[in-house]
Amino acid sequence: MEPHRMFRQVPLAPHQLIQDITPQSDLFVLAHMGVPRIDIDDWTLTVGGLVNESMTFTYDRIRQLPKREIQAFHQCAGYPKNPQLPTRRIGNMVWGGADLKTLLESVGILPAARFLWSFGHDYGEYDGFHADPYVKDLPLDRLLQSDVLLAYEINGEPLDALHGYPLRLLIPGFYGTNSVKWLSRLELADRRAEGPFTTLLYNDPVAPSPGHPAGGTRPVWHVAPESVIVSPAPNAKIGRGPVEIWGRAWADGGVASVEVSMDGGRSWYAAELGKQIDRSWQTFSLAWHPQGEGNAVLMSRAADKMGAIQPDAGWRNAVYAVPVTMTGL
Ligand SMILES: Nc1nc2c(c(=O)[nH]1)N[C@H]1C(S)=C(S)[C@@H](COP(=O)(O)O)O[C@H]1N2
Ligand SMILES: [Mo]
């Protein structure tokens, strides 16, 4: 592994999300324990656990399977110990690869299987935890929706080493942490996987509720509704207008609506929402006629199709605020 320690590439800031499709070289990188450098001649993918017969695939074999391309956003959940902190690490790419459901069905899923465990080639230390290797899991019912990829391409290019070469998972609508890079092994199981990244980290606290007085935790799987204003940029000087306020919005299952505020969240106006392509982010926009001069705070908030809405503060998908100055000119 090179390096063999946590490695991050900083994300584009919200006002830099100008392109509908994020180039691979601009995509944020998250590697908890470092970056495996894999020689393709030594690499295979083994599929086992609760299957009829375990099987091993070469890179060529995976690439011979029918190829699917899915446009999908990809978002990091942020710091596993601090789900309150928004990090807004987001990109939107066209992912190319083999359909995982088809591959698993060809191996034969046994009826007792309920989770897919996915193993990376990376191992080591992260924040006082030790993992050998990186393991995540996902519920099988999500997987059988038929849009989970064994991805070997981003935007038509092979994955680079930082983004998981030669093969990674891509689970549209799930936080990035679940889309395991540098895959080595897949296993079907009847329970959740053990290891720091499934049992200790990436489990959000859930508030007590009627029927669940103790609260508990929930795995960091589904992406909650979120949006950012791309333009105007923070601290922009705004003339008399009209000014187009526009940005990106995303949620697992797609965004239902986006509202925009020009007065720091006191009043909200429905934005126009662009359509979703496959599992992509969506563009929203609103024409603004600034009144007077002085400071204004622009905000956006998205709602998903289940009715969940971005919180004002205190959670990873909290509303993003853009201060601007109205010149009155
Ligand atoms: N094997 C492995 N897969 C991994 C990780 C990792 O540390 N090891 N990090 C995860 C996290 S937290 C995120 S946000 C995404 C980041 O993918 P990217 O670096 O391609 O943007 O990869 C996920 N897959
Ligand atoms: Mo992440």
10, 29, 93, 179, best to mutate for ligand 1 pocket (most atoms within 8 Å of CB): 179
Q: Tell me the pLDDT band of 289, cut-offs 50, 70 and 90.
A: very high
pLDDT score at 215: 86
- The residue ranking higher by pLDDT, 175 or 214, is 175
Query: Does 213 have pLDDT greater than 90?
Result: no
Is the pLDDT at 212 greater than 90? The verdict is: no
pLDDT at 126: 97
- Cα 32 to middle of ligand 1, angstroms: 7
Per residue in 70-108, pLDDT (tens digit) is 999 999 999 999 999 999 999 999 999 999 999 999 999
Distance from the alpha carbon of residue 98 to the mean position of ligand 2, in angstroms: 23
Using an 8 Å Cβ cutoff, are 225 and 251 in contact?
yes
Quote the distance between the C-alpha of residue 92 and its chain's center. 9
Torsion of CA 229, 271, 27, 12, to 10 degrees: -10
Query: What is the best residue among 7, 35, 38, 76 to mutate for testing ligand 1's pocket, by most ligand atoms within 8 Å of CB?
Result: 76
Question: How open is the CA angle 223-221-120, to the nearest 5 degrees?
Answer: 120
Please, which residues have CB within 8 angstroms of residue 307's CB and are 6 or more apart in sequence?
A: 256
Token pair in block for residue 298:
């622009």
Average pLDDT over residues 164-169: 98
- CA nearest ligand 1 atom 16, residue: 30
What's 226-326's CATH class? mainly beta
For ligand 2, the distance from its centroid to the CA atom of residue 76, given in whole angstroms, is 4
Q: Which residues contact 94 (CB under 8 A, 6 or more apart)?
A: 21, 69, 70, 71, 154, 155, 156
Using alpha carbons, list the distances in angstroms from residue 238 to 6, 248, 320, 327.
Answer: 41, 20, 19, 6
Comma-separated ranges of CATH 3.90.420.10 domains in the chain: 7-219
Q: Is the pLDDT of residue 68 over 90?
A: yes
- Neighbouring-strand partners of residue 301: 259
The residue whose CA is least distant from atom 14 of ligand 1 is 76
pLDDT digits (tens, 9 = 90+) for 228-286: 999 999 999 999 989 999 999 999 999 999 999 999 999 999 999 999 999 999 999 99
* Residue 145 pLDDT: 83
Strand partners, 219: 203
**Could you tell me where in the chain the CATH 2.60.40.650 domains are found?**
226-326
Mean residue pLDDT of the chain comes to: 97
Ligand 2 centre from 194 Cα, in Å? 19
pTM beyond 0.85, yes or no: yes
Q: Whose CA is nearest to atom 6 of ligand 1?
A: 31
Q: How far is the CA of 200 from the centre of ligand 1 (A)?
A: 17
Which ligand ends up closest to the CA of 176? Answer: 1
Question: Before 196, cis peptide (omega within 30)?
Answer: no
Query: Which residues form the pocket of ligand 1, taking CB atoms under 6 Å from any ligand atom?
Result: 27-32, 76, 120, 122, 134, 163-164, 176-177, 179-182
Q: Which residue lies with its CA nearest to atom 18 of ligand 1? A: 29
Determine the atom of ligand 1 nearest the C-alpha atom of 122.
Answer: 1
205: pLDDT confidence band, cut at 50, 70 and 90?
A: very high
Q: State in Å: Cα 242 to ligand 2 middle.
A: 38
Fold classified for 7-219: Sulfite Oxidase; Chain A, domain 2 (3.90.420)
